[in-house]
Amino acid sequence: MPADSDPVVRVTENGPYRVAGGVPVRDAEGNAVEAPATYFLCRCGHSSNKPFCDGTHKKVGFQGDETADDGPIAEREETYSASDIAIHDDRSVCSHAGHCTDNLPSVFKLRTEPWIDPEGAPAETIASVIATCPSGALRHTVRASDEPVEEPREPEVSPSRDGPYRLTGAVQVLSADGRSYERRARQTLCRCGGSKNKPFCDGTHWHIGFRAG
């Protein structure tokens, strides 16, 4: 469990995310948003003060039951290996931002099985595209190492445009009943209220036409 001063996001029962430990907030354009050391982020998608909660979840009867797997990430990942890189894919937390398929279709292939070809581009190119995956669904290791490669990032939360909260810095996410989700350097948290994999984004915002403002 994190210490009291550590950055942490706690899901509240049928309510917002409680963010403590001084995690900075930036808007979708990267501008700093003023926030206290502890604040509450809208989770139902209906606040009139986005990204912050204004209590609307109570009025709309938001049901925010968590369904995400809190087990080891490694047990959910599929691995695609080449001689100098291995790509690890956890579909359960993919937010469907499309950075991989849009920017490197020779490796990440829509409507194809297997959808990942680890030999479709140089390892350095693959690694640079994986680093843009906001959810951390895609990770990579090199050669014989078992440790995923991650660039150091400071704790920060940013609502993407009409999409999920992008959370960086391996901030601990806790369930409403106190369970710990395994830390990721990159995570996306649902803020439209519709994900079937709460508290994480599953791309539902695209299907329901969520608009942040």
Mean pLDDT, residues 178-184 taken together: 96
Q: Do the domain assignments include residue 55?
A: no
Which helix (H) or strand (E) segment is 102 a member of?
helix 99-103
Q: Do the domain assignments include residue 43?
A: no
The count of domains in the chain is: 1
- What does the pLDDT read at residue 47? 98
pLDDT at residue 167 greater than cutoff 80:
yes
Mean pLDDT, residues 7-21 taken together: 98
Q: Do the domain assignments include residue 126?
A: yes
Q: Do the domain assignments include residue 22?
A: no
pLDDT tens digit string along 98-145? 999 999 999 999 999 999 999 999 999 999 999 999 999 999 999 878
- What does the pLDDT read at residue 2? 60
pLDDT tens digit string along 25-62? 999 999 999 999 999 999 999 999 999 999 999 999 99
Please report, as a single letter, which amino acid is at residue 3.
Answer: A
- Other C-beta atoms within 10 Å of 81: how many? 12
Q: Do the domain assignments include residue 28?
A: no
- What does the pLDDT read at residue 106? 98
- What does the pLDDT read at residue 143? 85
pLDDT at residue 205 greater than cutoff 90:
yes
pLDDT at residue 4 greater than cutoff 60:
no
Q: Do the domain assignments include residue 197?
A: no
- What does the pLDDT read at residue 42? 98
pLDDT tens digit string along 64-94? 999 999 999 999 999 999 999 999 999 999 9
Distance CA 25, CA 84 (A): 37
- What does the pLDDT read at residue 120? 97
* Residue 79 domain boundaries: 73-141
Q: Do the domain assignments include residue 190?
A: no
The residue among 181, 207, 184, 185 whose CA lies nearest residue 66 is 181
- Quote the percentage of the chain above a pLDDT of 70: 98
CATH number for position 121: 3.30.70
- What does the pLDDT read at residue 165? 98
* pTM summary value: 0.95
Q: Which two tokens stand for residue 46?
A: 């209906």
User: Residues 6 or more apart from 174 whose CB is under 8 A from it?
Assistant: 8, 9, 10, 11, 180, 181
Give the DSSP letter string of 85-115.
-EEEE-GGG-----HHHHH-TTTB-TT-SS-
Distance CA 71, CA 74 (A): 9
- What does the pLDDT read at residue 24? 98
Mean pLDDT, residues 164-184 taken together: 97
